[in-house]
Structure 1
Amino acid sequence: MDLQISVFLLFILFTAGHSLSCYECMGLTGSCTRQTVKTCPSGFSQCMSTTTVAQAGEVSNKVKTKDCAPVCQSGSLNFGTGKMTISCCNTDKCNFQDAPDPSNVPNGNKCFSCDGQSCTNILSCSGTEDRCIKATATYGGQSVSVKGCASKSICDATASISSVESVSCCEGNLCNGAPSVSQSFLFLCCSLLSYFLLH
């Protein structure tokens, strides 16, 4: 009987003190070769891996990141000038593999997107992007809008983004609103991307 109690108490000590461990890295040149193992802080219950491809004219840049996350949803997000895939898992060092590159295979869905001056561009969604997304915020007294394509799982996770005034997703071609003009959409795009990278 004493042996069973001792084993039980030992088990509780091991499980109570166990924190999730995830790989951590940021590859600004398209690869994440220098990975370190990180013990996640309290409240961070998932590991994530992201691959982001940003396009500015003819210049394309790929960034890969890995880290701990408090909440994470696997999926895809596409604003036209930037695409991101997110892979999430919840066991020790499960984010060893890089998130896949964003898909370039159109899936037939179309959404409005913004280019910094207007939100009249029509974006062909790809891969698992089965929703249109629209977000707005006020920055420096100016309304900022971003529109694009997203996976359903990403849309389900946007309810907790505190840095923007509104985020909405919808189903159907071009359902993310009538075109609107925005002077500076990069701030909002960076806020959304940093949310998915850091949370």
Structure 2
Amino acid sequence: MELKIFIVLFCALFTGGHSLKCFECSGIMGSCESKVTTCPGIATATCGSATIVTNTGGNEVKMQSKSCTVTEACITSSINFGVTRTVTSTQCCNSDLCNSKDAPDSSSNSLNGKQCYSCDGLSCFNILNCLGNEDYCIKATVPGGSASQTVKGCASKSICDATSQANAGYMSFSCCKGNLCNGAKSVTQNLLFLLWPLFFFILIH
């Protein structure tokens, strides 16, 4: 009898009848053409909306994205290499088609007193003033052609937490807390992807 009850509960959790329906779309500058999608029937499925703001050389691009996601991905994050900065703001909910509204833009250009080293192609000891919730320094190695490239900058805690949970990766990545701490050796972690906020709302089919 206990086995039958377990099987019924298991099936109820993973069948499409209990799956969430969410709006799905992506677009630059707020142009987000929506359609409806059905989420996988897993316990952590949720509807999500994200606003992703990328600033490169003073040029800002804002993208809106909506889709099924998981509760673990519902975070606000910022990664700043000096030459480029990406801030992802998210909003999640758990009822059908509840993600109709865009996530509010939570990017902040306010200095927070934190400083980290950054790279400009010539030197990796340029001092970068961190912004908003960027309270960690980062250092990563990016493969590029015949030689790898080092990048450094500021990041929010959520970026470092996400990379520490990656199961596999192809670039070295490290986080540290303390002004200019990314100039020396630090603990290396695996990084699944460097600019992961840009792909934050990939469907989990």
Normalized against structure 2, the TM-score is what? 0.69
Q: 1:97 to 1:169 in 2, by over 3 A?
A: same
Q: 1:146 to 1:50 in 2, by over 3 A?
A: farther
| Correspondences of 1:143-158 after superposition (within 5 Å) | 143-158=148-163
Q: Which runs of 5+ in 1 are unaligned?
A: 1-8, 180-187
| 1:104 counterpart residue number | 109
3-state DSSP of counterpart to 1:176: helix
Moved over 6 A (4+): none
3-state DSSP of counterpart to 2:163: helix
Asked if structure 1 preserves the Cα contact closer than 8 Å seen for 2:13 and 2:41, the reply is no
Q: Does 1:22 align with 2:22?
A: yes
Segment drifting more, 109-118 vs 169-178: 109-118
Q: Residue 99 of structure 1: CA displacement?
A: 4.2
Q: Does 1:77 align with 2:78?
A: yes
| Alpha-carbon distance in structure 1 between the residues aligned to 2:74 and 2:123 | 29
| 2:36 counterpart residue number | 37
Normalized against structure 1, the TM-score is what? 0.70
Percent of aligned pairs sharing the same letter: 43
Q: 1:46 to 1:173 in 2, by over 3 A?
A: farther
Segment drifting more, 64-73 vs 104-113: 64-73
| 1:87 counterpart residue number | 90
Aligned length: 179
Q: Which runs of 5+ in 2 are unaligned?
A: 1-7, 186-192
Q: Does 1:61 align with 2:61?
A: yes
RMSD of Structure 2 on Structure 1 (CA):
3.2
3-state DSSP of counterpart to 1:157: helix
Letter in 2 for 1:84: V
Asked if structure 2 preserves the Cα contact closer than 8 Å seen for 1:46 and 1:72, the reply is no
Q: Deviations over 1:6-34 (max 9, x none)?
A: xxx8xx75984322333322221x21443
Q: Does 1:136 align with 2:137?
A: no
3-state DSSP of counterpart to 1:155: helix
Asked if structure 1 preserves the Cα contact closer than 8 Å seen for 2:137 and 2:180, the reply is yes
Asked if structure 2 preserves the Cα contact closer than 8 Å seen for 1:22 and 1:38, the reply is yes
Q: 1:114 to 1:49 in 2, by over 3 A?
A: farther
| 2:52 counterpart residue number | 52
Asked if structure 2 preserves the Cα contact closer than 8 Å seen for 1:161 and 1:195, the reply is no
Asked if structure 2 preserves the Cα contact closer than 8 Å seen for 1:19 and 1:40, the reply is yes
